[in-house]
Amino acid sequence: MKTGPMVGGLVLLVAAGGAAFWGVSTRTRALAVVTQETREMAVPTVAVARPMTGSAPQDITLPGTMMAFTDAPIYARTNGYLKKWFADIGTHVKAGQQLAEIDTPELDQQLLQARADLGTAQANARLAQTTAERYRDLIKSDSVSRQDLDNANGGLEAREAAVESARANVRRLEQLQAFRRIEAPFDGVVTARNTDIGALIDSGSNARELFHVANVSRLRVFINVPQVYSRAARAGLQADVTLKEFPGRRFTGTVARTSNAIDVGSRTLLTEIDVDNSKGELLPGSYADVHIALPAPAATLRLPVDALIFKTEGLQVATVGAGNQIALVTVTTGRDFGDSVEVLSGLTGNEQVVVNPPDSLAQGQVVRVAQPTARDAKP
């Protein structure tokens, strides 16, 4: 029998079968690897950080407006025409220094008439005095009736009252006449002059102001402190004031007072800082930046701002719990420190919080935790 061809055929068959088995096994292993990789890819990898604890810095910079320490509009107290002015804008004046003079022709005539009326009243009072004294003598001899004496005494009292009334009217007009002299109410600088020689002057605050005087030796800087910092803003704190027109310079001031009430519209606390301006370098009405180092509060929790999730349910963070499952926790935040934010409620400080959570992250989802981030470091 010829066995050679048969043996060769068997060898070829076995070789072909082995090759086929090897190919199937290789594909099976590759499929298993791909399946495992797909499963692993389906589990997202997240970076986590623990809430930071400690007293966060509270250096705040707020815009402010500089105002004169004392500022007053000057109005006329009497009517007339401006006769002369003695101070223009920019003039430094002392308290009581004359700013202008008003010509009051109508008032002058009224005063003359009032003085004449006073003279008439005094003459009538003297006559009534003489009559009353005569009646007192005549009553002793029953030459006049008691009623006549009472009438004489009553007439005297009425005439004396008329004298006092006329005298008061004279004093009133003399006081109005004294208001012809417009004076500075305090030491300061004239910041506005709204009148000129010959201008008609009307008295009262409804008329146009004649001058504006401001005391600029000290300035008040007003800022609006956000409500979240309001508890730390108190009198006595030092503040540094900077202006763009003075690059590199800081003007030191002190928090003088606060309004002790939060404005409903802006939710801010009006705060006043007093700044020395004895050199006159700073101008009222200027814009300024105010830097205040507020006292550090008790230790608080802070999170990176990119750990926050904004949802319709409110502000949340994603924490990794047992079994690497995600739990979405609603939190309340406080102060914003730029790269971190204060957490007022919702966390205890021991949680692993996901940083930069993807939008697809859901409650109960299983994740893989990456290596700890450097953000776990203490502040």
Whether 309 and 357 map to the same domain: the answer is yes
Whether 91 and 203 map to the same domain: the answer is yes
Whether 309 and 274 map to the same domain: the answer is no
Range of the domain at 115: 105-179
Task: State the Cα torsion 17-18-24-29 to the nearest 10°.
Answer: 170
pLDDT band at 31 (very low <50, low <70, confident <90, very high): low
Last residue of one domain, picked from the residues 179, 202, 236: 179
Alpha carbons within 13 A on the beta-carbon side of 93: 25
In a domain, 19, yes or no: no
Last residue of one domain, picked from the residues 128, 149, 179: 179
Predicted local distance difference test score (pLDDT) of residue 164: 95
Predicted local distance difference test score (pLDDT) of residue 377: 39
Whether 304 and 315 map to the same domain: the answer is yes
In a domain, 27, yes or no: no
Whether 51 and 92 map to the same domain: the answer is no
Whether 159 and 113 map to the same domain: the answer is yes
pLDDT band at 326 (very low <50, low <70, confident <90, very high): confident
- Token pair recorded at residue 108: 């002058």
In a domain, 29, yes or no: no
User: What does the buried/exposed string (b/e) look like for 169-191 if buried means 16 or more CB atoms within 10 Å of the residue's CB?
Assistant: bbeebeebbebbebebeebbbbb
The model's pLDDT over 101-127, given as tens digits with 9 standing for 90+, comes to 999 999 999 999 999 999 999 999 999
Asked whether the predicted pLDDT for residue 365 surpasses 90, the reply is: no
In a domain, 338, yes or no: yes
pTM for this predicted structure: 0.64
CATH for 319: 2.40.420.20
Alpha carbons within 13 A on the beta-carbon side of 35: 6
Q: Which residues contact 57 (CB under 8 A, 6 or more apart)?
A: 296, 337
In a domain, 20, yes or no: no
pLDDT, greater one: 135 or 167:
167
Predicted local distance difference test score (pLDDT) of residue 375: 46
Residue % of the chain over a pLDDT of 90: 50
In a domain, 80, yes or no: yes
Cα(300)–Cα(349) distance, rounded to whole angstroms? 9
**Average confidence (pLDDT) over 136-144:** 79
- Token pair recorded at residue 325: 């499952």
**Average confidence (pLDDT) over 308-322:** 87
Whether 194 and 327 map to the same domain: the answer is no
In a domain, 7, yes or no: no
CATH for 159: 1.10.287.470
Asked whether the predicted pLDDT for residue 12 surpasses 70, the reply is: no
Whether 144 and 219 map to the same domain: the answer is no
Whether 197 and 266 map to the same domain: the answer is yes
In a domain, 242, yes or no: yes
CATH for 202: 2.40.30.170
Last residue of one domain, picked from the residues 280, 295, 310: 295
Angle at Cα 167 formed by Cα 174 and Cα 111, nearest 5°? 40
- Token pair recorded at residue 17: 């079968």
**Average confidence (pLDDT) over 5-17:** 55
pLDDT band at 51 (very low <50, low <70, confident <90, very high): confident
Predicted local distance difference test score (pLDDT) of residue 73: 95
Cα(350)–Cα(27) distance, rounded to whole angstroms? 47
Whether 87 and 218 map to the same domain: the answer is yes
pLDDT, greater one: 98 or 324:
98
pLDDT, greater one: 192 or 14:
192
Residue % of the chain over a pLDDT of 70: 84
Whether 150 and 163 map to the same domain: the answer is yes
Whether 198 and 166 map to the same domain: the answer is no
Sheet holding 300-304, edge to edge: 52-54, 300-304, 340-345, 332-336
Predicted local distance difference test score (pLDDT) of residue 70: 95
- For the chain, the domain total comes to 3
pLDDT, greater one: 202 or 150:
202
Q: Mean pLDDT over all residues of the chain?
A: 85
Helices (H) and strands (E) in the chain, counts: 3, 22
